[in-house]
Amino acid sequence: MADNGGFEDSVTSFMLTDAIKTGSLDRVTQILAEHQININDKIDGSFTPFLLACSYCQFDLMVHFLNHGADPMYHHHFFNALMATCSSSCSDEELVLRCVRLLINQGLLINEVDPDRTTPLMYAAKSGHIEAVKELLMRGASIDSIDHEGWSAIFFAVSQKHTDIVKLLIESGASVKLEDRRGRKVLEIAETKGLQDIADLILEAEGEKKIEEEWEQPVQLTVQSYSDMVRELPEHNEFMADALSFLHNLCLSRYSRPFYNNKVSLGKLLLMDEGDLKENGVYLSSHRQLILSSVKKFHLSMWKNCLGVKRGQKLESDEFAFFLANITRHLYVLAQSAKYIKKECNKKGNRVFDDELRPIILKNVEQLVFIEKKLEQFRNLGSTLQKYDEVKYVDLIDENTLSIKNRVLNQIPDLFPSN
């Protein structure tokens, strides 16, 4: 026995440590009795039997020691029983949880810190004890407390690749904007370690917070009049409302603000790859894949007759403007589909097409030239109509205005040749 309240017999220390580690109550009782070891003596001058039992999450031994006078408040250089339990390598989460609850009920403080300012929550997050993390948070653990390196609990969870705990901490309000002493955020640590799933969680948390703060008003996605349709001709903003509608239909309206700010048109959206989506704020890989797969389906889909006009139907002027703008929309999207196909083909290298498919492909290429020419004609026509379709008082209409407008209207039959 040592006169400093501990014992340093290496053989006895080894036997007692092994007995506590394996949870053998009979052996522990026998060793303590044979060597006359006090329940609060320190093994090798460091841990007491109780603190050692906590580090191995030996619940039954912890209860036994407490019932026989063990001091639950004992700490080794401020490393206490709750910290020992939370840093345990025990894989039984329910057992860890029982030990944590036992110690809290004994009066151990939730937010106590060791010399490095590490809290029980940080230890639990680092060791992957999700049930302990839940319990500590429920009991009032400080989620954003930082240690001497500037790390909070989420830093430890990220560094040890505990995705489930990162998710739990984020959902519980943990900040992802804190910087450690080296100026790093948790996102940088996740990306450095190649932890894409965790990086996605962090980016989603940052994105949702930003949208909550900046994007509170819903996006108007419907075209309410023919004048709205004309204003969205390609030379103006290339159907930005359609791009936002595309996101809305995929339940991804959270990206409406960055798309709007970056002036992402329908045409741009239909030609985007993963890199383009990242640059426009779509940081979650699952969302990028959803958009890309939907774009592919869009290009491959067979279009139905959705122009809304029957052959021979008489059109009023406003109906005609809407009809014309809708045709422009179709031609514009078809041109983007052609570019999409070309882009996808180029990804596969200089591929030689099957002889049976070659004439079909060449024929379609010829038609694409026609589509491009027609698209340009529609653009010019729509732009000119919009310019000269403003309401004017009769005494202000001059011959030049009428001449230009009639000349534009005379072009229309050429755009719709009879069969």
* pLDDT tens readout for residues 177-206: 999 988 999 999 998 899 999 999 998 887
Q: In this predicted model, what pLDDT tens digit does every residue of 225-268 receive, in sequence order?
A: 444 444 445 544 556 777 777 887 777 877 888 888 888 887 78
Structure confidence at residue 5 (pLDDT)? 55
Which residues in 276-289 are b (16+ Cβ under 10 Å) and which e?
bbeebbbbbbebbe
Of the candidates 147, 202, 210, the residue with the CA atom closest to the CA atom of residue 174:
202
Give kind and range of the element (H or E) at residue 166. helix 163-171
What helix, strand, coil percent values describe the chain, rounded to 5? Answer: 60, 0, 40
**Running DSSP on this structure, what letter comes out for residue 37?**
-
**DSSP readout, 201-221?**
HHHHHHHHHHHHHH--SPPP-
Task: List phi, psi (to 5°) of 23.
Answer: 75, 25
Alpha helices in 301-398 (DSSP H): 317-347, 358-388
- Mean pLDDT, rounded, of the chain: 77
Structure confidence at residue 124 (pLDDT)? 98
Structure confidence at residue 226 (pLDDT)? 44
- How large a percentage of the chain has pLDDT more than 90? 40
Residues comprising the chain, all counted? 419
